[in-house]
Amino acid sequence: MSFTANMVILILALAASLVFTLVMNRLWPVERRYAESDQVGWQLSVLGTTYAVTLGFMLYTGWGDFKAAELNVELEANALRNIYRLAQALPHDRADIERLTVAYATEVVERDWPEMARGGMPEESHEVNESLWKVLLSAVIEKPMEITAHDHALSELSILTQHRRTRLLDNKYELPGIFWCVLLVGGMLTIASVSIFGARQPRIHMLQVISLTLLLTLVMLAIADIDKPFRGWVHVDDLAFRRALETMREVP
């Protein structure tokens, strides 16, 4: 989601929690709720602890997946650079390999990233990848050094293909709906329990409700953003492939 969408959701969540608390204060006076705080307190303690553990685990898992997607992109770009360098030891096919590696990086930057940002499945870089396989598998090998370079180039191309597939899978994967149900329902129940809890100081109680709502909403928005590593406000960028393009253009 965009920054604007995140802010709108945050404001709506804060407004909803405040309205709910004010309605509760009108329908169920604070004085009566304060007398029954012992009954609400244990529920809030158990519910809050359970939800905090669940929320923290989901954020940790989401961040781990996001960093894994970022690392996968770096490894894909690194494999591409290695193929470009190894082409120097394959004189008969060097021009074709270098042209295709540059074309691959260009397609990833100009086509793949915009397409993935829209949630699509890019195909242009796949065609370049297939062309690289054809060139390397039909490469002319004459010297022992060329055999070694050719083997390494095929290995790097295999790694490149693997990381490309992983990148596309990362782009398609989303947190299952049941987990979002747990997060949303748990958040609403926790905020509702805090709103119901009786307090002698209404202003302090409202501040507590606002603080908790702000924290829970921010964490869920963070999970939503990093859940889709190539889309939204927080995303994996194409810097690795831009650096790869610069490196390949600097190699004589």
Residue predicted with more confidence, 96 or 233:
96
| Band of residue 1 on the pLDDT scale cut at 50, 70, 90 | low
How many CB atoms lie under 10 A from the CB of residue 169? 11
pLDDT at 100: 94
pLDDT band at 161, cuts 50/70/90? very high
Tell me the two tokens of residue 66. 């996001």
pLDDT at 200: 66
Average pLDDT, the chain: 87
Q: What is the 3-state secondary structure (H, E, C) of the chain?
A: CCHHHHHHHHHHHHHHHHHHHHHHHHHCCHHHHHHCHHHHHHHHHHHHHHHHHHHHHHHHHHHHHHHHHHHHHHHHHHHHHHHHHHHHHCCCCHHHHHHHHHHHHHHHHHHHHHHHHCCCCCCHHHHHHHHHHHHHHCCCCCCHHHHHHHHHHHHHHHHHHHHHHHHHHHHHCCCCHHHHHHHHHHHHHHHHHHHHCCCCCHHHHHHHHHHHHHHHHHHHHHHHHHHCCCCCCCCCCCHHHHHHHHHHHHCC
> Residue 121's pLDDT band (boundaries 50, 70, 90)?
confident
Residue 122 or residue 60, greater confidence = 60
Give backbone dihedrals phi and psi of 2, rounded to 5 degrees, phi first: -80, 170
pLDDT value at residue 168 = 92
Q: CB of 81 within 8 A of CB of 251?
A: no
Regarding predicted confidence, which is higher, 6 or 100?
100
pTM of the model: 0.84
pLDDT tens sequence across 187-208: 998 888 887 765 667 777 788 8
pLDDT of residue 240: 93
Cα–Cα distance list, 135 to 128, 145, 169 (Å):
11, 18, 26
Q: Sorting pLDDT into bands at 50, 70 and 90, what band is 140?
A: confident
Q: What percent of the chain has pLDDT over 70?
A: 90
Average pLDDT over every residue of 100-124: 91
Q: Is the pLDDT of residue 5 over 60?
A: yes
